[in-house]
């Protein structure tokens, strides 16, 4: 099982690279378990302030593993641990950035959507081709695409299974940044380092607050934001941040 996800640390940024090139990084149950476990291991680590999930130049991830799914009965699918993978990723408090080059299809597109931001290579290709296999997206694709693109466009991509390119993804609001061919990982790491320089308690609270916007009505979301803001006001880092501003110097955040 070891080696399907390769972890490295660069300062306060953890880089997780999907490593199953022979199957185009298809998310096998073993790879999903390894990825979720790695994220859960890193999440409470105070030295990790942002996580980048990446594939290779050729492929981010080609979706769930079709071979493994094809052998699964209906009863097995109901009980399969893969179902909890998506909840486990969604429960991660550390900001997550998807660095996408090549294909992000099916579960691969859903994994990118489950991250908080997406940096894409100009030649990246996204899509939810599940319909062509006789199924529908099962890792959040219908819900997250509809929230990001709106119902009409999500419907088009989910019903046709057609792919869309990085520039289209940016125009539709799915991708934060499209970068020159070959620069995708570098740019994603730069973005991650910028997030990692910010006070880490506040970035986690901010992530929770923004996600709340997708999951609650406005009044509840505003109330949630206020509570999270009050928590941020209780941190030592905010004392430091405000003091540094008034003293016209760079702040030094300690994650307290």
- Rule CB under 6 A: which residues touch ligand CAA? 23-24, 26, 62-67, 103, 105-107, 110, 129-130, 133, 137-139, 141
Neighbours of 209 (CB within 10 A): 18
Residues 34, 38, 130, 225: which is the catalytic one? 130
Residues 63, 107, 127, 140: which is the catalytic one? 107
Min separation Cβ 8 and ligand CAA, Å: 25
Min separation Cβ 22 and ligand CAA, Å: 6
Would residue 215 show up in a list of annotated catalytic residues for this protein?
no
CA angle 39, 44, 47 (to 5 degrees): 95
CA dist., res. 107 & res. 104, Å (int) = 8
Would residue 110 show up in a list of annotated catalytic residues for this protein?
yes
Residues 110, 127, 154, 192: which is the catalytic one? 110
Min separation Cβ 81 and ligand CAA, Å: 13
Judged by CB, which is closer to ligand CAA: 14, or 96? 96
Would residue 123 show up in a list of annotated catalytic residues for this protein?
no
Would residue 107 show up in a list of annotated catalytic residues for this protein?
yes
CA distances from 127 to 51, 59, 88, 103, 105 (A): 23, 13, 22, 8, 5
Structure tokens at 25: 């990084």
- From 158, 128, 126, 12, select the one nearest 60 (Cα to Cα): 126
Known catalytic residues? 64, 107, 110, 130
């Amino acid at each position: 099982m070891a080696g399907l996800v390769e972890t490295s640390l660069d300062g306060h940024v953890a880089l997780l690279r999907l490593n199953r090139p022979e199957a185009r990084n298809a998310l096998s149950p073993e790879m999903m378990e390894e990825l979720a476990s790695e994220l859960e291991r890193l999440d409470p680590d105070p030295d990790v302030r942002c996580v980048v999930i990446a594939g290779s130049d050729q492929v981010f991830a080609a979706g769930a593993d079709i071979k493994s799914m094809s052998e699964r009965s209906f009863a097995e699918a109901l009980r399969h641990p893969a179902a909890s993978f998506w909840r486990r990723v969604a429960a991660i408090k550390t900001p997550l950035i998807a660095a996408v080059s090549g294909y992000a299809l099916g579960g691969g597109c859903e994994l990118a959507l489950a991250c908080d931001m997406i940096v894409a290579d100009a030649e990246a290709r996204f899509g939810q081709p599940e319909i062509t296999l006789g199924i529908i997206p099962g890792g959040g694709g219908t819900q997250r695409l509809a929230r990001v693109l709106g119902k009409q466009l999500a419907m088009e991509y989910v019903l046709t299974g057609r792919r869309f390119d990085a520039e289209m993804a940016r125009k539709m609001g799915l991708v934060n940044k499209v970068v020159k061919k070959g620069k995708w990982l570098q740019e994603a790491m730069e973005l991650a380092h910028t997030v990692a320089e910010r006070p880490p308690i506040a970035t986690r609270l901010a992530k929770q607050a923004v996600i709340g916007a997708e999951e609650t009505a406005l009044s509840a979301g505003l109330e949630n934001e206020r509570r999270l803001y009050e928590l941020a006001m209780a941190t030592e880092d905010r004392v430091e941040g405000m003091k540094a501003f008034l003293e016209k110097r760079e702040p030094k955040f300690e994650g307290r």
